[in-house]
Amino acid sequence: MNRESCIVNHASCIMHRASLLLIAVCCLLSASSAFADDLMLQDLIDDALKNNHDLIVSGFKVSTSEYRIPQAQSLPDPMFMVGYQNEGWDRYTYGEMEGAQWMFSASQMFPFPGKRLLKGEMAVRDAEGLKALYESKKVEVIEKVKELYYDLFLTYKDIDLIRDKTNLFSRMEDAALARYSSGMAPQQEVLMTQTEKYMLIEREEMIKQRQQAIEAMLNTTVGRDVNSPLGRPVEPVYMSYTRGMDELLNIAYEKSPEVISGEKMVAGAEAKVRMAEKEYYPDFTLAASLFKRRGEFEDMWSLTTTVNIPIFYRTKQRMAVLEAKSSLSEVHHELDATKIMLSSGIRENYSMLRTAEKLMELYKSGLMPKAYQDFESAIAGYTTGRIEAITVITRLKALIDYELLYWSQFVEREKAIARLEALTGGSSQGEKEK
């Protein structure tokens, strides 16, 4: 019986040394990462605004639309005609016959007054709408960078917490080994403690896998190679959020890039309606002609005006007006829908922000300190044999969960603020926590 006890004790010692080795490796990895360059959020945002491919494409669309403005405001190209008129079929009669002549003509089409201004206005409104969409895209990119940054920060924080709590399980393991060696506890308590510790190490590896996926998405958003190295995110500074719901809604309706884009689209659609109504009126083409003759025949000239007659207005101009008005109604409803979705998004994220703050306060001031006290009391009671191992393990797991949940809510709060900033089209007003 003593021999079997020695064998079991030896096996437990080996497992204990292995666990200490794993903890040492984790500490070394943590120490090495501490020397890595800090990852700054603003640096990522600056890189994303310069290198994000979707944003670059959107910027080119704005430039392309601006090139269309002077084109729309310009007159149509003038026309130049050269021709020859001959009398007879058998020979070249220029200079011999009265009707033989060279003909030169230049003509210019002039749209009905007001059409050029409306075409220019349409092009300007389209460019303004695309520019507003570009600003909206910038806000979306910034929001996405922030959310990925906070998610990456959370993975690092979770790994730190897990490594820290692994040390607490080592304390529990030492107590279990001491009780087992003195015959006060069965071997099952030692194995149960060690299993819980290895489950934490397994959880850490799973978080590392998620960390790599987030880094790849962050690099893609910033416009870097997917395998570009990233440092450790700097812990965000807690900022008290002072804006209320009504203030956020007013700011959003005034400054949101999506609302501004919708308003520009409405203005552009209104200009298209006015342009379609102008098509009821004809355009004018002025032409000056010269008839060059030789010899005793004097040169001739002429001035002519050509006017198009919109006689098919029932199937052409009227339908164009109805089409433009239908498009105007469409963009009006799209703008209303945008405002409704904006309001819904602000209310949802504002609620998430305030809920996260309440939960953080609950974890920080209530549950976490009490859970830590319960663990210390339980581990002391377990050492003296007054409390069972399962009680200590349960309280330690609760402590771990509360700390992980605290930082999870911290990140959810920061992400909600980032989304509110995107919805309101600007930076959030907050104050650093003293």
pLDDT of 321 strictly over 90: yes
CB of 300 closer than 8 Å to CB of 248: no
The domain of 148 spans 2-75+111-279+316-432
Q: Do 179 and 232 sit in the same domain of this protein? A: yes
* Residues making up the chain, counted from first to last: 434
Q: CA-CA distance, 424 to 134, in Å (whole number)?
A: 15
Q: Do 101 and 148 sit in the same domain of this protein? A: no
pTM comes to 0.77
Q: Do 93 and 214 sit in the same domain of this protein? A: no
pLDDT digits (tens, 9 = 90+) for 7-18: 334 444 444 444
pLDDT digits (tens, 9 = 90+) for 192-235: 777 777 888 888 899 999 999 999 999 999 988 888 888 899 98
Q: What is the mean pLDDT of the chain?
A: 84
Q: Do 86 and 153 sit in the same domain of this protein? A: no
Q: Do 150 and 245 sit in the same domain of this protein? A: yes
Q: Do 244 and 337 sit in the same domain of this protein? A: yes
For 72-227, list the strands marked E by DSSP. Answer: 79-85, 101-110
Nearest Cα residue to 94 out of 300, 294, 289, 301? 294
- CATH number for the domain spanning 405: value is 1.20.1600.10
Q: CA-CA distance, 434 to 425, in Å (whole number)?
A: 27
Residue finishing a domain among 292, 312, 332: 312
pLDDT digits (tens, 9 = 90+) for 363-422: 988 888 888 888 788 777 777 777 777 777 788 888 888 889 999 999 999 999 999 999
Q: Which residues contact 287 (CB under 8 A, 6 or more apart)?
A: 79, 105, 106, 107, 108, 303, 304, 305, 306
Q: Do 103 and 204 sit in the same domain of this protein? A: no
Q: Do 218 and 177 sit in the same domain of this protein? A: yes
Q: Do 68 and 7 sit in the same domain of this protein? A: yes
Q: Do 219 and 290 sit in the same domain of this protein? A: no
Positive or negative: CA dihedral 115, 120, 123, 125? negative
Tokens of 286: 């002025």
Cα→Cα distances 134→147, 223, 232, Å: 20, 17, 30
Q: How many domains does the chain have?
A: 2
Q: CA-CA distance, 379 to 193, in Å (whole number)?
A: 12
Q: Do 295 and 409 sit in the same domain of this protein? A: no
Q: Do 134 and 241 sit in the same domain of this protein? A: yes
Q: CA-CA distance, 48 to 276, in Å (whole number)?
A: 41
Count CB-CB contacts under 10 A for residue 333. Answer: 10
